[in-house]
Structure 1
Amino acid sequence: MPPFKQPRLTVVDGAGGDAATQPPKFSAGDLAHALGLGTNLLVGRYRVELASGNWWWSDEVYTMHGWKRHEVEAGLDALRSRKHPDDRNRVVRAATEALRLGRPFACAHRIVDRNGRTREVVVIGQGSRGSHGASPELLGYVVDVTPVQKEALARRAAGVVARAFVSQAVIEQAKGVIVAVRGVSDETAGRVLTEAASKAGIPLRLAADQVMTALRADNEKVGVTQAALNRALDAVQPVGRPRGHDPLLTRRPRRLQV
């Protein structure tokens, strides 16, 4: 496949109308910032001559599938053998329309490389009707987006862990106050807090948060006392529903009998 040529920038002279070539007025750093370059992805190219059925792949496409160029012949059979079993029956209409009308398309699916690892790939292409009697072709790219998927999952997992730590910290803080004020064991303090949460019908974290909020708002000047702790535990209450979900608001009004 011939290498892609860098397009030349042309500027039209307003006075004479002549086209003059000028160097780009931006640096590589400016371009990287504008395009939002971040995670480095493996990108390969492919080409299919529709009349002959001949395929060409760049080395990157072979690498994604766990092959070397001399180990397999590029083509449909090779692609089908590595497609994820759950994605084999998916039909992307956009690709069919692109071949028929020459429009660009993009679709995503999973592959399983020769080492058994699942990869997420995005196939981008555009059908070309050919010029000067040339055979119609399908040209495009294959992008391995697996690193992006892994980063998204890692961020989600980190968020879940962080929220769990925050929840546990609030619970332990409330239990510590109960232990200190009432002089009971950690297990007994946990039962006291659990009973308050069960009575209000709310999760333990919310009960602990309400207890600590009430204690901070208490006007006692001598620190947390038995009375202040009792008030805080007694003040644990259910969390109100948003009014939009109140079934009473969605109930149809009855007609008045006249």
Structure 2
Amino acid sequence: MTVFIFIAIILIASILQTSTGFGFSILATPFLLMIFEPREAIQINLVLSLVISAALIVNIHKDVDAGILKRLIIGSLPGLPLGLIIFLMADIGKLKISIGIVLLVLTVLLILNFRFKKSKGRDYIVGGLSGAFTTGIGMPGPPLLLYFSGTDTQKETLRATTLAFYLFIYSISLAIQMVFVGTNKTIWTSSGLALPLVVVGLFLGQRLFHHINQKHFRVFTYCILIVTGVYLFIQ
């Protein structure tokens, strides 16, 4: 039963990541925590997310907003050690509840048409939050998704810019996790077994992307955020 759950998690999350530019960590991490201990779940997510980002960015790099990407990366640097401290010291249950509540509140605001303008300062802040989320729980996506959705960013720019940022943040976060938290054989064996599923997800997700319009794309992001927030809270 565990094997089938693992297959479903990786395949669905890979399709979502490929078709939207976000979603693997948002969907996979909470459910991987059902099967693995926190360290293993987070590092498996980081490894597979890094593979997906590297595979996709080659073909869509032209859609990357270089200015925002640079500010996100700079902003993420102080957030990375903060997230690691939270991971090492915080109670994982309380941490998931807190994140779930934040996701639900912010998603409701977006559904109610709460919008804001992009600014360089906000780019740095979102980068910092994303960095902390990555080393803390392996989920850099929520701050980026909420920010880009709230500013009505085009889906092509959203997907390309977040994937480029993930390529950086996942690499650094995985290295930090391995050095300060440690790793084990289960992480790398499970990641290797999941790679064929990721390849299938890449293929299906790319085909799906071209059939999603902007309105449906926005509704889809809200659904993912709500499901993730509710799951984290209940679990």
In terms of fraction of residues, the more helix-rich structure is 2
TM-score, normalization by structure 1:
0.22
In terms of fraction of residues, the more strand-rich structure is 1
